[in-house]
Structures are given as structure tokens and as C-alpha cells.
Amino acid sequence: MWTLLCSFLLSLSAQENSLAEYLKKAYTARLKANYDLNLSTLKEAEQLKGHPQDPVLLAKLNTELSKQYLVNADYSKAKEYANKCLQLGQRIKNRTVEAYGYLAIATYYNYLDIGDLAVSNAQIALKLAKNWDYSLKSRAYYILYGVYSSWDDEVLSKKYAQLTILTARENADNEMLANAYTAYATAMQFHYEKTKKRQYLDSMKLYLHKSASVYKKSPEQVGVRTYSIANINLANYFFEYQPLHKQSTQDSILFYADIAKKLAKASDKNYTITGNVNGLLAEIASLQGKSRLAETYLMDSYTQLTKAATPSYYTFSNVAQGLSDLYAKRGDFKKALFYQKKKEVFTNKIFDERKMLQAKKLEAQYENSKLSEDIKIAAQKADSQRTQNLLLTGICLLLVISICLLVNSFKSKTKLQEEKSRRLQQEKQEAERNAELGLKMQAEEQARLQAEQQLLLLQKDQMQKEAMADALQIERKNRLLLQMKDKLQKLETEQNRGYVEKIIKEEMRLEETVERSAKEFKSINPAFFSKLKEMSNDKLTPLELEHCAYLRLQLNTKEIAAAFYIEPKSVRVSKYRIKQKIGLDKDTDLDRFLQELS
């Protein structure tokens, strides 16, 4: 018997070590930007058979799988593994496993930009985490930093960036530490944008260098993508905040951009980092009068983006616009028009991605509201059941008292027998009335629940009717456009053939865009756009005019980046191009200029 027990314990330990080794191997692959090996290793770990495994290791496995499927845009799988982790913790009543489940769900909501749900789940994970679990805490703090950073809350983003740094140090997690330093640099940038104090700009540069130094000291413990981002941020720092006419500034931009570009070759699946690097290099080449070199950088980005399986369409759009502007300056208007049309195609792709992410966001919000409603109903049922139990307990107690009194009555004297019998009868009637009252309250509770259910059904039916009415109205408009198309096509000539059909298609395609944007831009005076077009000689694109409108509405960089589903650095590059097109010098603040533009 003792031999069998020892064998079982040894096999269990070997199984746990095996799972731990798989997780370590997958993590190493992720640091080296080998995402295919990372996913395949995690899937192999999931298939391990044999003795029961350490539930905390299983939680980490499910959390990593959820994160990997998020990166691959498989949102259903990501949510499935996050829920699997949470359900495991709740089933075995393990607080640490449950905390990892809430952490995975917070990561899912943060990726879909549902900040309030990401914050609530991350806070639950922190409450469940043990004091010494710095790994879990640092990840939760980093999620909270990400949410408050997207909300442009400089105070809380700085707070959670600091907490991420502290917990990453305690856990000796150099990968998280490098990311935390970059996060703190971003928080310093928020402070600078708010106050324009030089000290915050210096701190921004300092912490970006700290992030890079972590990789230099421990290259095997920090991801190449993390180091690439630190270097592109340093290049952007010099591009945005240092005088571009100085040779030292240009040399710094080229130095850090070159490092980022070399490292990004292995980790930049959608070509976002390399695309931004080439954009910076093209800008510097243009400043130095090297038009052909700028064309080479932009064409390299265009070619690589074309080959990418999942390219960044926003980067695609910027590259196409850069090429169009470049050829327009040379007088090659045929190529300029070609790339301008390509930019419009990529703009439509961006719009399609926005619609898909918005649909996922609405679906997640609906699921969460439904879950909250189910919890509320369950709590109401539990309260009702407790009330019923109390009533039944009271009835049983009364019956016990009645029996005791009945036994005592037989032992009493004969002259008191009638009086005691009468008292017993009264108590029995009271018990029956209480029982009837309990049944009546139960029936009333059931009737109330049924009425609430009928009300919910009526509300659902009303929503369906309203949705149907909206659909019918859209269908009627489209049918009217098609009828107008048939009639107007009869009036077409050889010179304008296809023009009517093109107008109809564009009208139907742009309907959703106009309807979505009308509410945000209705407060902006039309003269605002006319003035901008006049100042830029009509060089501003529709996307750049939309960017200007968001600035007019006093949206900050993070909010604009979230609206376009892009990186904040890309927004700043776009602002730089807008200033060039409308003829502003580098020292003029674009935000203030647009606010004061009449």
C-alpha cells in the first residue's frame, strides 16, 4: 500500500512539472515573438492526460490560451477559456484560481475596450489574490493602467503604472517590468500634455530608457516586441518633442527607429511597428530633401503590408496617403490618384473593423447585463425561499408547542381540562391561520414573479417591433433609391453612363457612416470644414477632416486613438501632417488653433 501511494505521488509531481515546463516553453516562445510555437505548446499542454493537475497551473494555462486567442481575433475562443478558468475556481472554491479567471475576463473586456467591465473584474481579481501573489497582482494593475490610460486619466494611470512596477520587481518579472516602465512614461506624457511642464517630458524619456535597459541587462527575460515598442516610443519622443531641424534630433530618431525596425521583423505580424518606423524614416528623408529615399521607405511598408496575413489597415491608409502626397508633390498625378483610391479602400476596411469590434462590444455588454439580471433574480428567489423556510419553521414550532400543551392537559386536574382544551383549540386555529397566511404570501410572491416575467416579455416584444420598424424604414429608403435608379438610368448618355448607379451605391454604403457620425458632429459649424479646406487648398482627406472635428470637440489623443482603433502614436503623426497641410509652424498648438478657428 505504501509503495502504491508513493508511486501515485511521484507521478502527480511529474505531471505537474510537465505542465509547468510546457508553460515555461510557451512563455519563452512568446518572448521571442514565435507566436505559432507559443500557441501550439499551450495546446499540447491542454492535451496532457493522466493524474489530476495543479489547479493553479491549469488556471495559468487557460488564461494564456484566452490571451493568445484574443491576439488572433478569435473572441469566442478567448471568452470560452476565460470562463473555463473562472468556473474551475468557483467549482473547487480556490481563491487563486478564481482570481485568474476574473483576470482573464478583465483582459478580454479590456481588449474589446469595455473599460468599466475590465475595471470591475480586475478589482475582483485583486481582492481574491493573496498578498504574496505578485505575478497576478502586477497583471491586474497593468490592466487597470491600460483602462485609465485609454480614459486619459493621468492620476490613476500613473498610480497603477507605479503599482505595476513595484509588483513586477517583487516578482522579478523583467518582461512586465519593462512594460511597466513604458506605461509610466506614457503617464508622464499625459501630465506633460496637461501642464506643459518640462519635468514630465524629461521623466518620459528617462522611463523609456529604463524600459530599454531592462532588455539590455536580461535579453532572455524580455520580449523582443516589448523592446521594439520602447525604441519606437523613443524615436517618437524625439520626433514630437525635439526640434526636427537639428541634426542631433534627426540622428536620434534614425538610431532608435533602426533598432525598432530590426527587432520588429520577427514580432510585427500586422506590420504596425515597422509601418510606423518607415513612416518616421520617410518624414526625416523628406526633411533632408531625399524624396527618392522617402519613396523607398513608404513603398517598403506598402509591399510588406500587402503580404501580411492580417495587416493594420490604419497603417495601410497612412502609407497610401503618404505615397499619394509624395507623388502629388512630384507632379505624378496618375500615381497620386492611384494611391489616393487605395487609401479610400483601406479607410473602408477600417470602418468594417470598427463595426465588427462594436458588435463584439455590444454582445459582451448584453451578456454582462443578462448575467447581472440572472443574479438579481436568483437573489430574489433566495429571499423568497428564506421567507418560506421561516414560516414553515414557525408552523413546526407552533405544532410542537401545541403537542406539549396537549400532553400537559391530560396531566392536569379534571376541573381545568375543559379550559385547557379550549386553549389548545385556539392555538391550533392560530397555527392554521399562520399556515394559510404563509401559503397566501407564497401565492402572492409567485403572482408577482409571473407579472414581472410578463412585463419583461412585453418589453422584449416592444424592442423587436421598434427594430422591425427601423428595418422597414431602411428597406423603404433603399427600395426608393433603386426605383430612382431605374428611372434615372433611362436618362443616361454615353458621357455619364454608370454615374447614377455609382451615386446610388455610395449613398447606400455611406448611410451608416452618416448616421453614426451625425450625432457627434451636429454641433460643429459647417464653416469650420470650409475654412480648413480653404487653408489646405483642399488637401485634407475626409479622415483628416474627421480627425480635426474630434480635436474641435476637445477629444484627447487617447480618445481619438480609441475612436479610430489605432495607436496613439499614429494619431500624433496624423496631427503633424495636418499642421503641414494647413501651413502651421511647429510651435503652433493644433488643438488650440482648431478651438479658436471661427
Contacts with 187 (C-beta within 8 Å, 6 or more apart), sequence order: 145, 149, 154, 157, 158, 161
| Residue 304 CA: distances (Å) to CA of 206, 232, 299, 310, 386 | 33, 18, 8, 11, 66
Letter string b/e over residues 492-529, b meaning 16 or more CB atoms within 10 A of that residue's CB: eeeeeeeebeeebeeeeeeeeeeeeeeeebeeeeeebb
pLDDT exceeding 90 applies to what percent of the chain? Answer: 32
Per residue in 219-269, pLDDT (tens digit) is 999 998 899 999 999 999 999 999 999 999 999 999 999 898 888 776 666
> How many whole angstroms separate alpha carbon 361 and alpha carbon 384?
35
Q: Check: CB of residue 280 under 8 Å from CB of residue 236.
A: yes
Residues 473-484 have pLDDT tens digits of: 555 566 666 767
- Tens of pLDDT, residue by residue over 295-354, are 888 888 888 778 777 777 778 788 888 888 888 888 888 888 888 888 888 777 766 666
Nearest CA among 121, 133, 44, 48 for reference residue 86: 121
Handedness of CA 208, 212, 218, 219 (dihedral sign): positive
Task: Report the pLDDT value the prediction gives residue 131, as an integer from 0 to 100.
Answer: 87
Instruction: For domain 523-596, give the fold.
Output: Arc Repressor Mutant, subunit A (1.10.10)
Q: What is the mean pLDDT of residues 117-132?
A: 93
CB 584 within 8 A of CB 597: no
Can you tell me the mean pLDDT for 404-428? 76
More confident site: 594 or 502: 594
> What is the percentage of the chain residues whose pLDDT exceeds 70?
76
pLDDT in tens, 202-215: 999 999 999 999 99
> Which range has highest mean pLDDT (42-56, 231-245, 310-324, 536-550)?
231-245
- Stretch 58-74: mean pLDDT: 90
Q: Are 190 and 160 in contact (CB under 8 A)?
A: no
The reply to whether the predicted model has a pTM over 0.75 is no
Q: Where are the alpha helices (DSSP H) in 112-267?
A: 115-128, 134-150, 154-170, 174-195, 198-217, 224-241, 247-267
pLDDT band for 496, please (50, 70, 90 cuts): low
Res 122: pLDDT: 95
Q: What share of the chain is helix, strand, coil (3-state, %, to 5)?
A: 85, 0, 15
DSSP track, 18-31: HHHHHHHHHHHHHH
Crossing angle between the packed helical segments 313-330 and 333-411, to the nearest 10 degrees: 160
* Gap between the Cα atoms of 563 and 573, Å rounded: 16
**Is it the case that residue 586 has pLDDT exceeding 50?**
yes
Q: Which pLDDT score is estimated for 447?
A: 82
Are 372 and 415 in contact by the 8 Å Cβ rule? The answer is no
Q: How far apart are CA 423 and CA 396, in angstroms?
A: 18
Measured at the CA of 582, the angle between CA 529 and CA 509, to 5 degrees, comes to 40
Over residues 401-407, the mean pLDDT reads 74
- Supply the mean pLDDT for the chain: 80
